[in-house]
């Protein structure tokens, strides 16, 4: 393994304290404090290596039943409690819509802590425009709030891949002078 990968393994082992994965189905105070401490440690490592770590919200309605601290509001609270600029929220709007709704207010509330935004429409987890989420309004809210980071599509194509990507880009093409990062997209 290269040096970068060796460092990642060492740091991962330090962070997980010997518990790589274990199912947990209810949140406890100990879980919360362990999560905060772990994120604080990640923040320090991120600062040292120039990396920002993002914690993603999930939904328990359909895709991740029983997962504690999954809602965007809970995930945001963990990120805020860690209080480190190298620990951010990966705001997954698909999961947030299923679990909470009220996406525009969520964007406004979470903005200072958002490291990346992921999109897929509901239902179906396909590209914007195939479901109930008003992505034009969400994109406007992100722009109005000053978000300049990455917006990524984590979705299935409802048909042709190129058309799905075009729909994603159209949903987040600025209607004014505000721009979003398209870094990493073809």
Residues 28-56 have pLDDT tens digits of 788 889 999 999 999 999 999 999 999 99
Q: Known catalytic residue: 163? A: no
Residue 175's pLDDT band, with cuts at 50, 70 and 90, is: low
pLDDT score for 22: 47
Catalytic residue among 40, 47, 56, 116: 56
Cα–Cα distance for residue pair 36/29, rounded to 1 Å: 11
User: Phi and psi at residue 71, in whole multiples of 5°?
Assistant: -60, 155
Residues 92-145 have pLDDT tens digits of 999 999 999 999 999 999 999 999 999 999 999 999 999 999 999 999 999 999
Residue with tokens 């290269």: 2
Q: Is the pLDDT of residue 80 over 80?
A: yes
Q: Known catalytic residue: 56? A: yes
Cα–Cα distance for residue pair 11/8, rounded to 1 Å: 5
Short-list 103, 37, 33, 29, CA closest to 73 = 103
Give the ranges where 50-120 is alpha helix by DSSP (H).
Answer: 72-82, 93-99, 103-110
What is the CATH code of the structural domain delimited by 3-171? 3.20.20.150
The CA-CA-CA angle for residues 130, 168, 179, to 5°, reads 140
Q: Is the pLDDT of residue 2 over 90?
A: no
Taken in order 72, 143, 115, 64, is the CA torsion positive or negative?
Answer: positive
Assigned token pair, 103: 């996406």
How high does pLDDT run on average in the chain? Answer: 86
Short-list 155, 156, 144, 148, CA closest to 183 = 148
Cα–Cα distance for residue pair 85/105, rounded to 1 Å: 22
Catalytic residue among 40, 80, 116, 154: 154
Please give the residue that has the higher pLDDT: either 89 or 177.
Answer: 89
């Amino acid at each position: 393994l290269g040096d970068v990968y060796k460092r990642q393994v060492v740091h991962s082992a330090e962070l997980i304290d010997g518990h790589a994965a274990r199912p947990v189905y209810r949140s406890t105070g100990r879980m919360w404090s362990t999560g905060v401490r772990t994120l604080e440690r990640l923040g320090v490592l991120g600062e040292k290596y120039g990396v920002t770590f993002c914690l993603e919200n999930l939904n328990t309605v359909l895709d991740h039943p029983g997962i504690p601290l999954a809602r965007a509001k809970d995930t945001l609270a963990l990120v805020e409690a860690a209080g480190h600029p190298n620990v951010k929220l990966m705001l997954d709007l698909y999961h947030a819509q299923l679990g909470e709704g009220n996406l525009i207010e969520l964007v406004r509330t979470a903005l200072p802590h958002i490291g990346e935004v992921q999109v897929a429409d509901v239902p179906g987890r396909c590209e914007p425009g195939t479901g109930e989420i008003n992505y034009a309004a969400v994109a406007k809210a992100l722009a109005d709030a000053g978000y300049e980071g990455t917006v990524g599509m984590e979705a299935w194509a409802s048909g042709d891949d190129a058309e799905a990507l075009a729909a994603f880009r159209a949903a987040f093409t600025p209607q004014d002078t505000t721009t979003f990062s398209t870094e990493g997209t073809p």
